[in-house]
Structure 1
Amino acid sequence: MTDYRKKLEACGIAWPELAHPNLPFAPTKRIGDVLYVSGQIPEVAGEVAFTGKVGAEINVETALKSARLCAANAIYWASDALGGDLDRVVQLAKLTIFINATPGFTTFSQIGNGASEVMNAVFGARGEHARSAIGVAGLPANVPVEVEAVFHIR
């Protein structure tokens, strides 16, 4: 087991087991020394773990769990794109966290912290990143959170 898997498990998250989606886009795209990871939803073993709108069916605690799973899935796809060698990550440059929330909900940054904390725990100083956490009217499969990532790699 790699150190990255151990660090993720220390966060209380098992290493994801994801299948390449049958969609008209890729989970990752590398351009030079930048790796873009498509938006990740809170999926565990091919199943959506949480659905609903934050502030209605989903509370902040569950939204935080969702953000953490999304971050883990982004790490999984980065690892997949890098042939399992996450040592090639120079820096996590940017995270964008989308929160499917009710009108008037404003605790987006707190939910975004769930994803940020996972990245910081797994990558250490290389996990420090710029970030946006924004509310949206809806997300695919009615998930509460979606996270996309941009990595600087070698």
Structure 2
Amino acid sequence: MPHAIEARLAELGLELKSAPAPAANYVPWVISGNQIFVSGQISQTEAGLITGKLGADLSTEQGAQAARACALSLLAQAKSALGGDWSRLRRLVKLTGFVNCTADFTDQPKVINGASDLMVAVLGEAGRHARAAVGAPSLPMGVAVEIEAIFEIA
């Protein structure tokens, strides 16, 4: 029987792909004590990178979809860190989201809601978290969004 997280993903019509490989000299996650620190996950899908600048090239809704893609990668990394054992996951503690945007764009929280909303939809109350949503003048490879996470584990 699939774990509740896998079942919820399926109900939402979502599937976790393999955890993305690091793009530079770092590891995708580190377990320290009872926490998993997941490195920033960039906005990408099977079709490729989601690039662009909010306030110029992309709408807030497109940015939220990019953040949602980041959230799926964060979950894939957490699953990898746990060796697939979702029963060890206690909660999402914090998300820190970076939005590639123009200087006058102020809807970073609405963009990062794409990730926050997905985490709550998948993890329920355990998906409610502390958060930061920060605007950035550019992000690696021109991606629209990058998000890092901290999860609590057993």
TM over 0.5: yes
Q: Which residue of 2 is the match for residue 74 of structure 1? A: 74
1:64 aligns with 2:64: yes
Q: Which residue in 1 is equivalent to 2:88?
A: 88
Amino acid at match of 1:121: A
1:11 shift after superposition: 3.7
1:91-130 equivalence runs, <5 A: 91-130=91-130
Percent identity of the aligned residues? 39
Could you tell me which residue of structure 2 aligns to residue 42 of structure 1?
43
The aligned amino acid for 1:78 is A
Does the 8 Å CA contact 1:8/1:118 hold for their aligned counterparts? no
What whole-Å deviation, never above 9, does each CA across 1:43-98 have from its counterpart, x for those lacking one?
223831x1110111111111010000101100000000001112211111100111
- Conserved 8 A contact 2:108-2:134: yes
Q: Which residue of structure 1 lines up, in the alignment, with residue 137 of structure 2?
A: 137
Q: What residue ranges of structure 2 are gaps of 5+ in the alignment?
A: none
Give unmatched runs, 5+ long, in structure 1: none
Q: Which residue of 2 aligns with 1:8?
A: 9
Distance 1:138 1:13, change over 3 A: farther
- CA gap of 1:88–1:126, structure 2 versus 1, over 3 A, is same
TM-score normalized by structure 2?
A: 0.91
